[in-house]
Structure 1
């Protein structure tokens, strides 16, 4: 299936479409070109949305069991091609191939879970006899597809996060216009080909490649009914501002707070934090970025985490022994390097790492950081973890809730009382008990608060967003 060079054309009304303007896809580790994507014009976008409007009618008429069957076929085909798709993903993204294989496994789950939800879309009976006016009447809330879904996906987990847009949209009976990430469209391209091959109606899935201009026009277009986006807080803010009255689901950034209380299993906590701060080269919105450790356990925790981080292998993403590959490109690595250098100049201590190699950055552990440093208060999106001590849990609550982010946090403790105290007080979209902020499985209601976004992903929850409720009242 995979060739040395793979193109990613547009897909409009069931036909592949090329372009004179080709965007090269560069392997961030080797520096060679591995493919190219066909850049859309505004005219191409108009065609894609027009095709989706027609495709939406065909999708709405398709019975749930047929949508289920096709989505399950996609899952099976992805599973069968996992090795080749993962290799392609590692080439274009610099992601360690073990992580790429895990991502394809999760995309399989996402399509399979969406297939199951396609036959479980249900409304409810609304009792009216609670008032004299309603007595004797019957009311029902039914769910129908919204129509056309616009989806914009990121580079850090491109296959699975695209699956989280495409599979629920199709399961709900919608058509979709997808804008893949400019940096990593190639593995997505193979998934799109598989969706086409299993036989969805013409126009059910349309794909346009491009930058900010195409994205801005897509979300503002009156032919779009719902927008789903995963990416930076800055871009999400612009999408919300430009979307008019359309509903949006925004899964945005985070700063990965994990709390280690005095009664925690320090070895388990440090081991998990070491791996989950560095996997995907830290390019995950729930990557462990800041660890708050009760002061009496601080030194022991740091010692164990440091040993575990030093064991991680930085290297060729295609080497199965590699733990940490590159960042998405050299510019991203330079930004991480500058943030670490700035922290060091302002008093932070680098215990390990802190060195960039082209598009790669060594796994880095910082202590003596201050809350106002970029590496703490903003999203690093790189292989960097900062460790801070605390004396009282009220400090933890204040630190977490003062952040502009609120995606997920982790808590390590043996105390149910401590757990429920924090669950009540921490204002985040998710709390992982005896685990890090990084944990996610694909059926969860996943999302954040504040600058981390709005709405929830996960097939069941995305389908709720991608369907409209319609009230039906019977006067009998």
Structure 2
């Protein structure tokens, strides 16, 4: 049995396991709880409180009441509070990172980066908000004066996934608060402790009680949240299947939807093959591949397929699976059994179809849980297989080859998901051609498909099942605001 260092790493930290409702930590009205088990150690960390409909009603009522006054507060005053949230969050990165690693499983260095980025988002959007201005419009009526301005939409239901629970909260909360909105947030129960603990900083920073609530819950509670008559808009990050259920339930409510990706990494015949291989491997082991813009599949020109596979196998020697609290580890366990079972299913089919397992291929024994998965490189993958056609969400690099750039583009677009792609080439003309013709919201040239920047408008392409709206930079503020128009009649 491999030992872990998780338990001593949490010395002195008391995780919050009660509902954060209208600025206070409270038990759920029904008194129900659910165990949170660490994927790192297999031990129960805590029992988190679960909400019922009465808790949701109270949170929504408090949010709507607080939002009226918050919207009327000056934007500079809101920005100052958001800056304080960022400062306070930055001051707690180390302790929160240890908790995040314990409940999510990602290496400690990645947890630190998540929390540092979450703090930066509150600073970024505070600055964006004070520069979000309208314009004066000319009218064909000489007696009219027209102008535009922005106001917060109202009360948002925010539904976030388990892979980046604090960072993805900040991706909505920072622009939402800066533009005058209120939020009722639903994280998954099994990765809710870090967020419940982190939001302690809101009250200290001056965020009014009631403006933000955090209520962990499952599918039925999520449906109640998005359909609640007091919810004006919905922000969601997660799977396409869940996104479709949310949209069908929510109807005409405003929404920002960022759903699944199966991002192709496209490697052309003239590419720097070693750089492409390193980027593809990194994009598959970061957060154990549990990222919407992970290396979903590699589409490589047949002329360099063998070279790419050899280079990827070499790059894979740098992957260290192990205890995520160990600084040498860059691949921790998968977060949950459902994800591990999906990876199993995809790899079982790959074996049945006779694909070549170059590196890895299954779960590693000898760890405290069975969620530790070897980094895996599979060659000879066909486009119709699960490894290519579905989002695996694990540390796997499937290699599909084709004989022409046109066929590579066809394979890239032969997918229902359209989030982010990468293309490797030394020819900038080809780079532009792929950027303009790959049906994804973003195309990264000569870097990992997992590239993301907090100022980058990130989201799905039209015509795909990946959603709409943008996470990142000024674009999220625009999506979380109403553009209003004033018309004044002059005598």
TM-score range, shorter chain: over 0.9
Which of 422, 430, 453 matches 1:410? 422
Partners of 1:148 and 1:425 lie apart in 2 by: 37
Give the CA deviation at 1:3. Answer: 4.6
Partners of 1:471 and 1:69 lie apart in 2 by: 27
Partners of 1:123 and 1:415 lie apart in 2 by: 41
Which of 408, 411, 423 matches 2:435? 423
Give the secondary-structure state (helix, strand or coil) at the position aligned to 2:89: helix
User: Does the 8 A contact of 1:95 with 1:326 survive in 2?
Assistant: yes
Quote the residue 1:256 is aligned against: 263
> Larger deviation: 41-50 or 106-115?
106-115
Give the CA deviation at 1:331. Answer: 3.4
Partners of 1:467 and 1:188 lie apart in 2 by: 25
Give the secondary-structure state (helix, strand or coil) at the position aligned to 1:305: helix
User: Does the 8 A contact of 1:407 with 1:429 survive in 2?
Assistant: yes
Quote the residue 2:102 is aligned against: 91
Quote the residue 1:386 is aligned against: 398
Quote the residue 2:3 is aligned against: none
User: Does the 8 A contact of 2:196 with 2:214 survive in 1?
Assistant: no
Partners of 2:19 and 2:104 lie apart in 1 by: 20
Query: What are structure 2's unaligned runs of at least 5 residues?
Result: 1-9, 365-369
Give yes or no for the alignment of 1:12 onto 2:26: no
Which of 462, 468, 488 matches 1:454? 468
How big is each residue's C-alpha offset from its partner over 1:142-163, in whole Å with a ceiling of 9 and x where there is no partner?
1111110110111111111111
Give yes or no for the alignment of 1:467 onto 2:481: yes
Quote the residue 1:285 is aligned against: 292
Alpha-carbon spacing, 1:2–1:74, altered in 2? closer, same or farther (3 Å): farther
Partners of 2:214 and 2:143 lie apart in 1 by: 49
Q: 4+ residue runs of structure 1 moved beyond 3 angstroms?
A: 1-5
Quote the residue 1:146 is aligned against: 153
Quote the residue 1:311 is aligned against: 318
Quote the residue 2:249 is aligned against: 242
Over the aligned positions, Cα root-mean-square deviation in angstroms equals 1.4
How big is each residue's C-alpha offset from its partner over 1:149-196, in whole Å with a ceiling of 9 and x where there is no partner?
110111111111111011111011111111112121111122211112
User: Does the 8 A contact of 1:12 with 1:203 survive in 2?
Assistant: yes
Give yes or no for the alignment of 1:123 onto 2:134: yes
Partners of 1:245 and 1:114 lie apart in 2 by: 27
Partners of 1:334 and 1:318 lie apart in 2 by: 24
Aligned residues: 472
Give the secondary-structure state (helix, strand or coil) at the position aligned to 1:365: strand
